[in-house]
Amino acid sequence: MKHPSSNLVLAHWTDRLRNRPAPERGDIDPAAIRRALGDTFMLAADFLDHLRFRLAGTRVCALFCREIKGEAFAALWNEDSREQIGALTKAMTEESVGAVAGLTGVTADGSEAELEMLLLPLAHAGQARIRALGVLAPVVPPYWLGEKPVIELKLRTLRHLGSENDRGKSSFHRARGRLPHGFVVYPGGRAAPNEERTG
């Protein structure tokens, strides 16, 4: 991972696992990740079980030049990325699969920014609707941040985050043969030399 906010949030989430597939919302201490809060978000399921932004930090909202609370997570992605994001969020909520992804954020005039996204599952029970904790941050903040909104996100790379026992078992990874050229999954964050691709 390239961004310090991703590293901080992942370390805190991992510390709160305590031999469970995922920590609960109440286990996450905002004070422990205060330096990353501007780059963080939480996703919650609506009544149709679609994921929407429950909370979004100030720097996340600055990317889109608006408050994104309540917006559908899937709506931010371009058409080519939406199917893979749907598979990822399903695996995350059903199988406690986390991921770190490399994205491109695109503005209306074609300006681009390299972004990093961390997406981590949160355990839920009963009527609790919070499903995920995430980070979305530019690797290098563009000069136009806060002035030109990102209108779509493009998924470029993806790395699964999970235990050794979980790797390769999720439905998301079983489907990886259908991923488009240029989209690479590295189980456990490593790839053998013959698995590397460019695109």
Q: What is the CATH number of the domain that holds 75?
A: 3.30.450.20
* For range 99-115, the mean pLDDT: 97
Query: 64 vs 67, 68, 117, 144, CA distance in Å?
Result: 8, 8, 15, 11
| Rounded-to-integer distance, Cα 124 and Cα 115, Å | 28
Total number of domains in the chain: 1
| Rounded-to-integer distance, Cα 132 and Cα 120, Å | 6
Residue at 46 is within a domain: yes
Angle at CA of residue 63, ends 88 and 57, nearest 5°: 75
Residue 156 has pLDDT above 80, yes or no: yes
Please give the pLDDT value at position 192. Answer: 40
Sign of CA dihedral 108, 154, 119, 90: positive
* Number of residues that make up the chain: 199
pTM, rounded to two decimals? 0.81
Please give the pLDDT value at position 162. Answer: 62
Residue at 73 is within a domain: yes
Domain that holds residue 164: 4-188
The predicted-structure confidence for 18-54, as pLDDT tens digits, reads as follows: 888 999 999 999 999 999 999 999 999 987 879 999 9
State both tokens at 170.
């999720």
